[in-house]
Amino acid sequence: MSYRLLRIVALAAVTAMTQACQSATEHDLSRLDLPEGFTARVYSADVPGARSLALGSEGTVFVGSRAAGNVYALRDTDGDGRADRRYLLVEGSPDSPNGVAFLDGDLYVAFTDRIARLPAIESRLEDPPAPRTVARLPRYDHHGWRYLAAGPDGALYVGMGAPCNVCERYGEIWRVDPGNGEHKVVARGVRNTVGFDWSPQTGTLWFTDNGRDLLGDNRPPDELNRLSGDGDHFGFPYCHGGDIPDPEYGSRDACDRYVPPVQRLSPHVAALGMRFYDGTAFPADYRGDILIAEHGSWNRSERIGYRITRVDPEAALAGADNAYRPFVTGWLMDSGEIWGRPVDVQVLPSGALLVSDDYHGAVYHIDYRPPG
C-alpha cells in the first residue's frame, strides 16, 4: 500500500471515529485533566475547522481553518472568557486559509498558494475587505497548508512543509517581506512545521517539526527546534530526531552535520502550534515555558498525543529529563477514543490561554485561579 493511500485510510478511520463519538462528548470539558487551580471553558463553539490562532491589537482573536476554508474573527466584548461576537472574514476558500498573522493593524492569511493581506481589519470586521495577495507560494497538496506568524523584526514567517513523507530539496521556513513579497530561506531541513514563536528573552525562533512516518511506532520523535542563525539545517530528509539516519537518504550525510532538536518530543504526536507563555496569570514556574498543542497520532498502533504539553526551554537546553511534560490531557480517552484534537495555542493579554480544536470546530479558554 502506498504512503499516500495509507494516510488516506488512516485519516478516514480517525474521521469515522470522530463522528461516532462526537455527539456524546461534545464540549464536555469536565473530561479534561488540568493541574490544580486551572479551569477550562468553551470560548467559542462555532468555528468549524478551527486551527491557527492570532491576536489583534484590540483583542480580536483570528482563527484560520484548513478543510472549512474559512477565516474567523472572535471578540469577547465583556471579558468573561467567552466570545460573544463572531465574524466571517473569508468563506469557503478551496485554498486552505490555515495560517493567520496580525501585523501593524493588518491581518495576513496564508493560503496554499499565496499570502494575502486584509488591511485595517479590526475596524472592518463587519464588512471585511477582499484579501490582497502580497506573496506567491509554490502550491502543492501534501503538507501544503501553511503556518504563518509575524516576527519581532516586522517580517512574516511561513512554514514550507515538504510535499512528501520523505524527499529531498524541500522543507524550509521562509522570511517574507510584507511590503514586496520577497522571501529568504531562514531554516532548512524542516519536514513540516505548523507552529513557531520567538523567545521573549533572546528573540530567537523556536519551532515544532513533525517527524517522518513509516519507521515504526516509536521513532522518530517529533521535534522542538531552535534557530541559531539563518540557514541552519535541521536534518530532513537525511537525519531524524538528531540521531536517526534515514534508511534511504541517511547514508549520504552523517547526523552530526545537522542541528539536533533542543527537545525530542513523543513520536508521531503531531506537535503543531506552540507559544512561549509570557503572561502572568499562571503560576510563576510556567512563565517562559513553551506550550505545545499535540494534535495526536494517526499513524501509530496505539494513539498518543491529543494534549497540551509544556517544555522548560532552559531545562531542555541543559538536557534535563523533566524538561518536557504534559500540561492538559484528556482529549484521548482511556478507551482509545478521541473527543478533541488541539491544534494551536494563543496567550491572551489576561494571561489566559486559548486552544483551538479542529475536531469540534471550537476554541477553549484555559485560566488559573489560586486554590482556596
155: cell is: 517580517
pLDDT at 6 over 60: no
Q: Is the pLDDT of residue 345 over 90?
A: yes
Q: What is the pLDDT of residue 16?
A: 41
Whether the predicted pLDDT of 201 surpasses 80: yes
The angle subtended at Cα 10 by Cα 8 and Cα 11, nearest 5°, is 65
User: What would the grid cell of residue 353 be?
Assistant: 490561554
Give how far Cα 6 sits from Cα of 19, 165, 300, 337, Å.
20, 11, 12, 20
Mean pLDDT of 150-165: 97
* 248 bridge partner residues: none
* Strand 290-294 versus strand 85-90 pairing type: unpaired
Banded model confidence at residue 372, pLDDT cuts 50, 70, 90: confident
Let me know if 169 is exposed, middle or buried by CB neighbors in 10 A (0-12, 13-18, 19+). Answer: exposed
Contact 243, 255 (CB under 8 A): yes
Can you tell me the mean pLDDT for 264-280?
A: 98
The overall average pLDDT reported for the chain is: 93
Phi, psi for residue 47 in degrees, rounded to 5: -135, 75
In this predicted structure, the answer to whether residue 161 has a pLDDT above a threshold of 90 is yes
Share of the chain above pLDDT 70, in %: 92
Query: For residue range 104-141, what is the model confidence (pLDDT) as tens digits?
Result: 999 999 999 999 999 999 999 999 999 999 999 999 98
The pLDDT of 81-108, averaged and rounded, is: 98
Average confidence (pLDDT) over 267-289: 97
Q: pLDDT at position 359, please? A: 96
What pTM, to 2 d.p., does this model score? 0.93
φ, ψ for residue 354 (rounded to 5)?
-95, 145
**Cα distance between residue 9 and residue 100, in whole Å:** 29
**Whether pLDDT at 18 is above 50:** no
Tell me: pLDDT of 301 over 60.
yes
pLDDT in tens, 27-48: 789 999 999 999 999 999 999 9
Confidence of residue 367 (pLDDT cuts 50, 70, 90): very high
Give CATH for domain 3-368: 2.120.10.30
Backbone angles phi, psi at 232, to 5 degrees: -50, 140
User: Looking at residue 251, what is its pLDDT?
Assistant: 74
Q: What would the pLDDT profile of 357-366 be if each residue is shown by its tens digit?
A: 999 999 999 9
pLDDT grade for 26, boundaries at 50, 70 and 90:
low
Q: What is the pLDDT of residue 15?
A: 44
